[in-house]
Amino acid sequence: MRLNNVKSEPLVSIVVPVYNTADYLDEMLESVTGQTYQNLEIICVNDGSKDNSLDVLMKWAKNDSRIKVIDKANSGASDTRNTGLRNATGDYLCFIDSDDFVEPTLIEDTLTCAIENKVDAVVYNIDLFDEEKKKFTPHKTAVDKERIPVGTPFKASDIDHFYKYLIGFTVNKLYRRSLLTDINLEFVKMGAHEDMPFTYVALSAANSIYYLNKTLYHYRRAREGSLSDNTNDKYEYMITALATMRKQLEDAGLMKANKRNFDNYALHMMYWKANSIGVPHNVNFVKDCREQFLEKFDLLEKDSKYFFDGVERAFLKTTTHPKKGTKIKEALFLSDDPEHETAALKVYKATHGDWLRRSKIGRAGHLGKAFLRETRHAGLSSALNKAKSRINEQE
């Protein structure tokens, strides 16, 4: 299908990293080769698969000249995507994981948006596909539709907390390829979070971005052996990913315009990590958070108004004040979201000893709200006892 009001048809490169996904390749390639927009180069990079993925790829390549197969030794997702990126020649480029599949109008819809709105990047919706139930579930947090402009071009640096409101997935974006090559942007191999620096630096480099509020990508939930099945909740990986993102922003000359957004996002992600790791691990987390993260990222001296959200401000104060004198309101964050209070309790326990264990209160949400009421007129000991009494009355 030809695009309306376009004199020539731009070539679109689709980079597909492949590792042990033979069972899903037919469905993925059928969805890609069946695009309504046909001027494509489909670069499939086999990352040393141990199954018959390479055979499936070669079978498809024999019947479709647009498919280019590159076979290499196993080296991980980042190097595999970089291989595809280096071999791409299209005017535009997107990434598709080999165990996922897409809507037939993916390229037509996103390319039309890119050309008509003269933008460097197009972001679109993604949903989650449950293989067993054959059910599609919208990915509600991939794009915050209340914060990200819909239907109008925008720039990343124009939106406070941009990185928080748009998850750094590799797969639900179409880029002008020169956007990436002009700043020599590539993926960096890490233990986890390898998508994050690449995606956010690319979007930060874009002169304009367009959010297409349409679901065009179907993400198959993580399975054993997938390129995306390498999540590890070690907080060191997050520190490494954030440091990588910062360096790439600096190298591309993008840090000045995006520094406040980066600093806020970095603090937000470390708070998120505090909520996802186990309490015993938090002892090291709090120490490393101060020494390897807060100090090195120059966040300790920032005025509280520099940070967009109260939760992150409270988290910063909690992790930098390891004595029992820390205000309870700050230590517990006192958010309406129980998840926030759970994270705060973990950090507070790591920094303040075992008083939470001795309190024998396991319900963080009630604890936080009870403390807020009582600490206005009482000390810590009195507040703790009264909070316990209130909870016992409710049970």
pLDDT at 272 (0 to 100): 80
pLDDT at 4 (0 to 100): 60
In this prediction, residues 43-48 reach a mean pLDDT of 99
Q: pLDDT class for 1, splitting at 50, 70, 90?
A: low
- Secondary structure E strands in the chain: 12-18, 40-47, 67-72, 92-95, 101-102, 121-130, 135-138, 173-176, 209-220
**Predicted confidence (pLDDT) at residue 376 exceeds the cutoff of 80:** no
pLDDT at 167 (0 to 100): 94
Q: pLDDT class for 95, splitting at 50, 70, 90?
A: very high
pLDDT at 160 (0 to 100): 96
Q: What is the pLDDT of residues 213-232, one digit of tens each?
A: 999 999 998 654 444 444 44
**Predicted confidence (pLDDT) at residue 186 exceeds the cutoff of 80:** yes
The domain limits of the chain are 12-231, 258-394
pLDDT at 300 (0 to 100): 84
**Predicted confidence (pLDDT) at residue 355 exceeds the cutoff of 80:** no
pLDDT at 184 (0 to 100): 98
Angle, CA of 352, 356 and 362, to the nearest 5°: 145
**Predicted confidence (pLDDT) at residue 329 exceeds the cutoff of 50:** no
Whether the Cβ atoms of residue 326 and residue 350 lie closer than 8 Å to each other = no
Topology classification of domain 12-231: Spore Coat Polysaccharide Biosynthesis Protein SpsA; Chain A (3.90.550)
pLDDT at 224 (0 to 100): 47
More reliable by pLDDT, 26 or 293: 26
Of the candidates 32, 197, 94, the one whose C-alpha atom is nearest the C-alpha of residue 84 is 94
pTM higher than the cut 0.75: yes
In this prediction, residues 350-360 reach a mean pLDDT of 43
**Predicted confidence (pLDDT) at residue 393 exceeds the cutoff of 80:** no
